[in-house]
Structure 1
Amino acid sequence: MRPVRTPLALLIAAILLFPATAHAWIPDDKGIGGFGWQADQWNFLPGTGVDAPRAWDNLFAAGRPGGKGVTIAVLDSGVAYETRGRFKKSPDLKKIRFAKGYDFCARTSSGINACEGRDPYPNDDYGHGTHVISTIAESTNNGVALTGLAYGATIIPVKVLNSRGEGDEDTITAGIRYAVKQGAQIINLSFEFGSATTSATQVPRIAAAVRYARANNVTVVAASGNGELQRVGYPAALPGVISVGAVTEHGCLAEYSNHGPGLDVVAPGGGKDAALPDQPQCTPNGPQGRPIYQLTLTNKRRQTFGYPTDYIGTSMATPHVSATAALIIASGVLGPKPTPDQIEQRLKATARDLGTPGPDELYGAGLIDAGAATAR
């Protein structure tokens, strides 16, 4: 589904008005059409976004710009972090701090498992991982492309998904344990196992790996799933994992977003509004909201970069939460070494309430607010 873009005049007006009304630092990244990142990254603005500019200002005040000093492991399809052989480096990941990563899915299996083979080169051959990592930490204020919410953070790229975006329990378990041993403070899981997985007993090794991560003071964040289900998918539904649903540009629950009793928070995921009664911001029959834009691999050979229009989902919402968690740690607002429980409570306590007052099964505690979460 191709999203409906905001008219050019409105984009220009937003760019002109935003700095004056927000009184916040505005990076010089040019955006997709040269009108500035604000024209495209609605998900980072105040309102139905996460208010990145206020968060960035808060981090400047703390003396640690962006996510500097925080290590985030992204378990996904890898990342375009180097030019090697057929792989190319993303033009806007040049200044990212990459720690040693690993590829647990070096080849796509033709058998029952989704992955086989391992090597130390977590190159992206799908594009999803590069998109997720760019939302978290893309180079910012460099006059190029778009921005990253927790720019300056150190990223551990861990490839656990193959070239079709598929993974398996053994691979993901190994990836979580590797990330912990490499010093990750936050682990981002932008995937879910689908409707057939309904219990933690079906993913016991991942459940054990999550417990291991939490025992080592690592915060785990995962996507609730895109099945339009009234329950959160796994691994997001595991105890101790921060589960993330998706909202659209209109501030409405996205039609695809899993929700239910286990939902913790929501973040921008883009796409079409769900048909929800008594919520005037939801217009399911109106224009579809924009996707989450980031520079990532595009063509079938995954050797060129662009801004795909089909990146919507709870996978796109999840990195907003991981990045905000990193900003909380970097800001020192919870002290030097906050626990996963403290970070989760901070995210929930500062989230913007949506829907019926108080926590609910559609939006959890509400929409992540990076500005409020990092404020002293």
Structure 2
Amino acid sequence: MYRIRNTAVGVLAVAALAACSDTPATPSNQTLIPQNANASASVDPVVPGQVLVKFKDGTNTVAAARMLGTPIQQEGYKHAFQIVSVENGQERAAAARLAADPQVEWAEPNYIRHVDAIDSRLWAFFNPGGLNMSFYNDPNGNTGSIPASYASKLDADMDAIEGIAAGGSPVVISSIDTGVDFNHPEFTGRLIAGCDWYSQAAAGNGSATCSDFTPFDTPDEGHGTHTTGTMAGTTVGVAGITGAGPNVKVYVQRVCGPVGCYSSSIINAIRAAADQPNMVAMNLSLGGTTESQGEKSAISYATSKNVLVIVAAGNSGTSKVGCPACDANAISVSATTWQDALAAYSQYGSGLDISAPGGYCYSNTTEDGCIFSAIVAGYQGGRTYSGPLAGGSYAYMQGTSMSTPQVTGAAAAVASKTGLRGSALRTRLQSTADDLGTAGVDTKFGNGRLNVYRAVTNTTLGAGL
């Protein structure tokens, strides 16, 4: 029942709450309490004692590192860069010194990124308008429905109609995140185990090749299972809803853990994903504030292989897109609400490419205003629900982490059904979006809010359908 796009699904989508930038005031006895997404730090933290270095081609890296007094600690994927040891607390200064050396192409600290997550049921796929929700566990004792001004807007969805991408060809997308629950029924037989770059880095394994193929999500994380469910879950994902699911496999790589997401691991994962056969797009629901030359180089490499790199814009609510979404070759994604407004937490700004539903929850209302997807068994981050598939756990989350995989899942569906790749696939996704805000490309919605039906079929669905 979660895959049928009809009025019944709209009813099941019980309610979601709009997070408008100009949200109407509510009665004084019915205060809504915003549940903020994770805000981006003003300065990215770094891995102590590590600097990433890309020596110029033809340089004897070992000799050069020895001469510069920075011993090589680890190697990047296929020797794309080296990690050298520097004095703790001197990472930025050492990187600047190394970057000035004529033997060095670029040098930078090993930044620590963060996942961009925060929680109807598929209102993003079908929204008939008028959905609302009620106060829940409100500290002020409010009960009943919230004001009607918060009800959903008709067609504030992506028109991800069942079956429109069925009968396509096999494609692969990549989850670059906290890993995925390989036992979840949403993904049976469709996950490919890539590297656990996070654990490998944390263990000090300096090999340029992977030795740990256990990219499994954990109950205290859960983020990667949720984003992958939105991309490609059988009943809750864009690819599954549109019928492309059986033809879509997900190459899973773990780059985030308790400490965060090392940029060295992110760089490795982007390059490794780009090398996979039939890869069409990769999802990075993570980011920070500082542009990384290593990530930029990896994204350029993926782009040269006709693979899209789709990245969350960030959740600090500021007018600047985070990084690596800030890279011109990446597709940066902001988050919308079920009133087709920019979510209050979503970053935006120059260079934003597209928007998609990311949800908005209030801590004293039901969670239905957020994005419903799969979650790892035993998830510790909040309430979980059973179904729609037997044996699977599900939860609501919100954030640009939730909007980004909507675009990646759509990319998989379009690529499978149409054969489009690279820049042609990117153009199809962006040119078929629903224009919101200022006419044309703008800084809040980019080219517009994702429209899956139009992206797959290149035709327009009638309003209200």
**CA distance 1:348–1:342, shift in 2 (3 Å):** same
Paired residue secondary structure (2:268): helix
Aligned counterpart, 1:57: 163
Partner of residue 278, structure 1: none
Alignment of 1:238-317 (within 5 A): 238-271=327-360, 290-297=369-376, 298-300=378-380, 306-309=393-396, 311-317=397-403
Judge conservation of contact 1:250–1:289 (CA < 8 Å) in 2: no
1:250-280 deviation digits (Å, cap 9, x = unpaired): 211000000011111100100069xxxxxxx
Q: Deviations over 1:213-267 (max 9, x none)?
A: 1111111100000011101100011121000000012211000000011111100
Partner of 2:411: 325
More displaced 10-residue stretch of structure 1: 118-127 or 312-321? 118-127
Instruction: Please report the RMSD computed on the Cα atoms of aligned residues, expressed in angstroms.
Output: 3.4
Query: Residue 185 of structure 1 aligns to a residue in which SS?
Result: strand
Relative distance call for 1:357 and 1:227 in structure 2 (3 A) is same
**Counterpart pick for 2:7 among 17, 25, 29:** 17
| Matching residue of 2:124 | 43
What amino acid maps onto 2:427 in structure 1?
Answer: Q
Residue 71 (str. 1) matches residue 61 (str. 2): no
| Equivalent in the alignment of 1:10 | none
Q: Distance in 2 between matches of 1:294 and 1:167?
A: 22
| Matched residue, 1:124 | 217
The whole-number CA distance in structure 2 between the counterparts of 1:188 and 1:269 is 15
Matched residue, 2:444: 362
1: CA distance, partners of 2:366 / 2:442: 26
- Note if contact 1:32-1:307 (Cα within 8 Å) is conserved in structure 2: no
1:18, distance to aligned residue in structure 2 (A): 5.6
Question: What is the aligned counterpart of 1:98 among 170, 187, 191?
Answer: 191
SS at structure 1 position matched to 2:297: helix
Q: Is the alpha carbon distance of 1:69 and 1:138 closer, same or farther for their aligned partners in structure 2, counting shifts above 3 Å? A: same
| Structure 2 residue identity aligned to 1:306 | S
How many residues are matched? 302
What is the CA–CA distance in structure 2 between the aligned matches of 1:32 and 1:130, rounded to whole Å?
21
Q: Would the aligned equivalents of 1:265 and 1:363 in 2 still touch at CA under 8 Å?
A: yes
Closer, same or farther: CA 367–170 of 1 in aligned 2, 3 Å: same
The aligned residue for residue 233 of structure 1 is: 322
Question: Shift in Å at residue 74 of structure 1?
Answer: 0.9
CA positional deviation for 1:190: 0.7
Q: What's the secondary structure of 2:333's corresponding residue?
A: strand
User: TM-score when scaled to structure 1?
Assistant: 0.72
Supply the distance in 1 between the matched residues of 2:361 and 2:439 (Cα, whole angstroms). Answer: 23
CA, structure 1 residues 133+57, in 2 after alignment: closer, same or farther (shift >3 Å)? same
Q: Contact (CA 8 Å) 1:127, 1:296: kept in 2 or not?
A: yes
Q: Relative to structure 1, is the Cα distance of residues 15 and 218 closer, same or farther in structure 2, using a 3 angstrom cutoff? A: closer
Does residue 1:208 correspond to 2:309, yes or no? no
1:342-374: CA deviation from partner (whole Å, max 9, x where unpaired): 222111211001112222111111110000011
- Superposition pairs for residues 192-207 of structure 1, below 5 Å? 192-193=287-288, 195=289, 197=290, 200=291, 203-207=292-296
Structure 2 residues not aligned, in runs of 5+: 15-119, 128-154, 205-209, 385-390, 459-465
What letter matches 1:167 in structure 2? C
Alignment match of 1:350 (pick from 408, 432, 436): 432
**Max Rg structure:** 2
Question: Offset of 1:109 from its aligned partner?
Answer: 4.4
> What percent identity do the matched residue pairs reach?
30
Supply the distance in 2 between the matched residues of 1:108 and 1:217 (Cα, whole angstroms).
Answer: 28
Larger RCO, structure (CA 8 Å, separation 6 or more): 2
Gapped regions of structure 1 (runs ≥ 5):
1-13, 22-30, 34-38, 82-88, 112-116, 274-285
Q: Which secondary structure does the structure 2 equivalent of 1:308 belong to?
A: strand
CA distance in 2, matches of 1:168, 1:179: 17
TM-score, structure 2 length as denominator?
Answer: 0.59
TM superposition outliers: structure 1 runs of 4+ over 4 Å: 107-111, 146-150, 286-289, 301-305
Please tell me whether residue 151 in structure 1 is matched to residue 225 in structure 2.
no
Residue 15 of structure 1: CA displacement? 7.8
Superposition deviation, residue 92 in structure 1:
2.6
Cα distance in structure 2, aligned partners of 1:175 and 1:118? 13
